[in-house]
Structure 1
Amino acid sequence: MRLRTKLILAFSGPLAILIILGLISARTITKSSHTVERIFRENYDSADACLKMKDAILVMDGTAEIFVWDGVKDEKTIAADLEFVNHLRFQQGNVTLPGEQDLTDSLTNQWNTYRVALEKFFTLSSEGTDRRQFYRNSILPQSQRVLDIAQRIIDINLNNMVSTDGQVRKEAAETNRTLLLLVLSGILLSALFVGIFWQSMVRPISRLMDSVQEIQRGNLDFFVHVHSKDEIGNLASAFNEMTSTLRRFRKMNRTKLLRSQRATISVLNALPQAIAVCNPGGGIELSNEAAVKMFALAPGKSIKDAADEKIVELFSQANLEMRPFCNKGWDWAIQKFSDGDEKFFLPEAIPIFDDEHGLIGVTMVISDVTRLRQLDEAKNGLISTVSHELKTPLTSIRLATHALLNEKLGVLNPKQTELVLAAREESDRLHRIIENLLELGRMESGGARLDLMPISAEEILLAAADEMRTAFADRGVSLSLELPADSPRVLADRLRLGIVFANLLNNALKHTPPGGRVTLSGREEGGEVLFSVEDTGEGIPQENLPHIFEKFFRVPGCEEYGTSGLGLAIVKEITEGHGSNIKVNSSPGKGARFEFALSKAESV
């Protein structure tokens, strides 16, 4: 049997009961309404007619009483007589109750007697005694008999209205009992149909619901046993086929996932870096052998339980700001000892995004930089040694050139003077390079400690501008100064901050053509003072901006300026030593702007 047929049979019984109940209810209500309306209308009309007849009798009694004393017949008597006759005729045609006809006939007879007596009364002589006696003995008693009969007719109609209401209530109660019986029958019939079709319709649906819940919990081995051949049976068969297909896909996906996971782990284990893949909450989901061995970053653990705080801090920054974090400074290096050897590692945090740029994880890459650190230390040692070794003979060369230019050893001809001047300039440039190398080595090794003290920002800017003003005037470049309004004090090393501004101003002067302008400024921003050096020179190409602060880097095409490529590297080391971060904004043909911020002395 098809599901549609079962549903039709299941709902046909209750539907038939509802239709029967509706028809009986409509018929009963309509019948009761018409009966009540007819009975109440007939009884009410009879009672109303009798009341008006009583009013007419009372009016005629009143005119008769006036006639007793005045002997004048009032015209109201005729109108009242006519009104009584009209209502009496209506009552004669509206007799509906048992005994009402006899009372109506009696009322007619008594009325006729009353009219005859009243006509005789109005024809009596003018002697007041006869009229009064006739009025008391004939008119009033006959009038009372008419009134009594009219009242009796009113009473039986009113009583019938009350009894009719009772009959209506009785019929309504009977109807209610009938409807209640039908409702109970409908309920029993519906329960019977539900009981009959439960086995073949509801139970298979319940099994399907159980199957859906099992699949929701991940159990794809659940099988629905349904033996019916209706739509539910077809649905169950399709459901079983679907779960079978899902089982095959799950097996295939598990195989692919396992293969991919094993391949990924093999690749990660082959890498020299320690790698751990974490979810946004910090749980480690995947890591290679190096991460487990060196940093105990095993799958199932939390990155927040890592022994080194630098790893946790980088993960938190990448998770919060959703961008890669890689600090290449040696102060971020993690020191480890393995088999008695000292090793250094630099951590890096790389966020992982989904297709909608939502954060789904963070990859921690911890690289072994021991060899790089050793090479860097060797390079710094070599540079320091060479610089010190060059410094002594260079000092002698500089003294010799100065002595020759002072002509203490004899007068030089113009050609000799030109050659000695060139030698002095080159020796001075070489001296500056050596000093920069030594200063940079001290900053990188941590040997140069900053002498921090409160210094007026205005004083710093004025000193830097005064030192470079002559060089700017010789080149024809204007140097403008923008001082902060309240002259705040910053916490800084006076000597090294002077080196920063000297390098920035010297760099701006070299790259600004005559007629250009360089602006040295400082302004307050919250608890800091923002210093900047801005020029109107040729600017820096965008592809060179990331390398501008690297050692020995020179912008291609600017070799003719004779720079060593160390000035901006020294600026970066000194500003970072002050806890700041120097930034550069530039584009070709629009100049360059270098800026960094120092904390105010009172806010530290």
Structure 2
Amino acid sequence: MMRMNIKTKLTFGLLFLFVVIICFGVLGIYYVNRLSNDASKILKDNQISVEYCSQMLKALDEIPGDSSKIAIFEKNLKLEENNITEPGEFEATAEVRYLFEQLKKDPAGFDKIREMHKAIFKIDDVNEIAIIHKNARASHYATQATLWLTGIVTVLSLVAFTFVINFPSVIAKPIRELTEGIKEIANKNYSKRIHLEQKDEFGTLADTFNTMAGKLDEYEHSNLAEIKAEKGRIEAIINKMNDGIIGLNDKNEILFFNSAAESLFGLKEKDIIGFYAADIAIQNDLLRTVLQNETSKQLKIFLDNKESFFVQESILIQADNVVGGRVIILRNITPFKELDAAKTNFIATISHELKIPLFAINMSTQLLEDKRMGEMNKDQTEVLGAIKANAERLLKITGELLNMSQIETGRIQLKIEPVMPEVMVLRAMQAVQQQAAQFGVSLQENIEKDLPLVDLDEEKTVWVLINFLNNAIKYSSENGTVEVCVKREKEIIQFWVADHGKGIEEQYVDRVFDKYFQVPGTTERSGTGLGLSISKEFIEAQGGKIWVNSNYGEGSTFGFNILVNPLT
């Protein structure tokens, strides 16, 4: 028997329904077009000729009293001569033309009006008879089309109905049997088997189910020795792991203590198995710290004659919402710490070494811009501008990397002194004035008067304000406005920069101060993604708090709060 999978069955079923729809549609279109063509022929040829005859008769009756009707008669006669479609119509039209030519020569003495009437009526009769015949033929086609379409719809509907009734059982029946089998397995009836005759995915699934049920049945009836062997293998795996692992039951008694944990805590598993963990922790400071620590706190432990770093993870063992104990894992992250330190030192070294040649490049571009060195053409000026812009960008990136390396190594050097808030704001605005003009953005200041001094590192705080302003300018619309505000709220001085640009989507607002994070969808990718992270570290190192408010589509506001100098 040919093996047919579910996908093939569904494909054939849907293809069948598609063919039914196509057949019905093609037949319907054919008969509709046929009827439409017959109807259009009736109106197009014969009905128009009848109208021409009517106009000629009307004009002929008025010619004796109005010779201008001759032109109307001749116009309709010419149209009729160009619309001859039926047998006998040509002869009748030729007779009208012959008589009309005599009429034009002597309208007053023409005496064959009656013959002309007869000839015109002959044309009219020929076309009306044709209309009757064509209408009868169209009615015949309509009746035939109705019978054919009714018969076809009836047959296709019966076939489709049979298909719709029978085909779902191909899917539903095996699913029902599999569901019943799974329920039996869930109730630990491992003797349950499913027998399907289908040679498709359901048949394969039934065979797999039966294999699984057999394995479960075998496991259910396995002896205690096999269970102990499995337990021994699991314990061997746990002991081979490099992470320290401690197992506790629901009474907080020690169940297992692997080799790595023995080295860390200086304890032997055989001496503490079954003991209450809190009693052992009285004599062991590290175990006491681990038992009291409920979070993933980083631990520094002196191990193998060097400082090592571990992260604690606590896993609750639950069954049916009942806690059966927990497993404590101490993961050794010392290699990652060492790599991180090496990375930080590398970045600091490279950034420092890059600054010297970058300063040299910057100075060289400034010298080349000096007209005393010679005039440059337009292309040279553009190339020099590109060199200067990229050198400045690299200087900014290296500066950010150096700042970040200082932060990561805890070597931030602060020069705290009383500073006037308005002075810092003006310095920051002057630094970005050229960039604002380049982007067509206007800067506005809103500084409260008589502000007290604040204890800050002026250089680093101005750096933060410049970073805020740079971002606001870049993401403002052309001819937009960026506002710098300073205001006192009780014992706090608030600084903030507001723009009316695109804003930040809600799901990204909480991440803007993360290292290397850049909001998805922004076209600006020249930075490192460190500016806001460094700003946060600088402000928090001075005891302040950094914040952001943003409504997507309306703009963003970045700011920070600093305590007022208590002596002012």
Q: TM-score range by the shorter chain?
A: 0.3 to 0.5
TM-score (norm 2): 0.47
TM-score (norm 1): 0.45
